[in-house]
Amino acid sequence: MERHSFYCQIHKGIRAVASALVAQAGRTDFRNRGEVQALGRQVDEAFGLFEAHARHEDAFITPLLRVCAPGIAADCEADHRAQELRLRDLRSALALAASGGASAPDRGHAFLLGLSRFHGEMLVHMADEEERLMPALWAAFDDEALQRVHRALLDGVPPAEKLAVMRFMLPALSAGERAEVLAAARAGAPTAFEAIRRVAREVLSAEEWSRLEAGLAPAA
């Protein structure tokens, strides 16, 4: 039987955001101020989402791990601290490249390499969370307990942050997963459901949106 996972859907979205950010950095002409500013805005949004995700994990999931798998909990916390420092250094590297001058392309490429390394490390970290952390939690807690914690985590996320997450997560999900997310929102919070539905219509292709609408339609 499929067990409840904290990570599956949100990680799909984070992978998509991180991959798009690396691609955008690779396309950026660091001699072009407008392109560098656009990259900076994308970096601010993506890094903010990465940091918020780690904070939510530290607040709600790591305490469970300390009970059932303290070694894994320590590894996860160490990864998050390392990611925090890496993001700080990457912001500094981008600011240096954005300062312009003849060395801007070289500094921009150095930022790209650092970002690529961070991307790879984060992919490994997220795979570890799904392959090591979740099995440890499944062995120690039933799905009802895990879902209570997950609901508490989601209830603590500000509405604006939730919509920002939906904006990048929904396109990264399968059609069935999108329908599950929208159906859960409709059952739990009709106002939030309408806001998420509007976001879905904006970020999905016409075909994806049509399929989602059909899946949400009440049975005849």
For residue 65, the model assigns a pLDDT of: 95
Question: 91-96: long-range contacts (C-beta < 8 A, 24 or more apart)?
Answer: 91/43, 91/47, 94/39, 94/40, 94/43
Which pTM value belongs to this model?
Answer: 0.92
For residue 49, the model assigns a pLDDT of: 95
For residue 1, the model assigns a pLDDT of: 55
For residue 219, the model assigns a pLDDT of: 45
Which domains are present in the chain?
A: 1-157 (1.20.120.520), 159-220 (no CATH)
CB-based contact 132:9 (threshold 8 Å): no
For residue 215, the model assigns a pLDDT of: 81
For residue 220, the model assigns a pLDDT of: 41
Q: Over the chain (220 residues), what is each successive 10-residue block's mean pLDDT? A: 88 97 98 97 97 95 95 95 97 96 96 98 96 96 94 91 94 94 86 91 95 75
Residue whose pair of structure tokens reads 């984060």 in the numeric block:
122
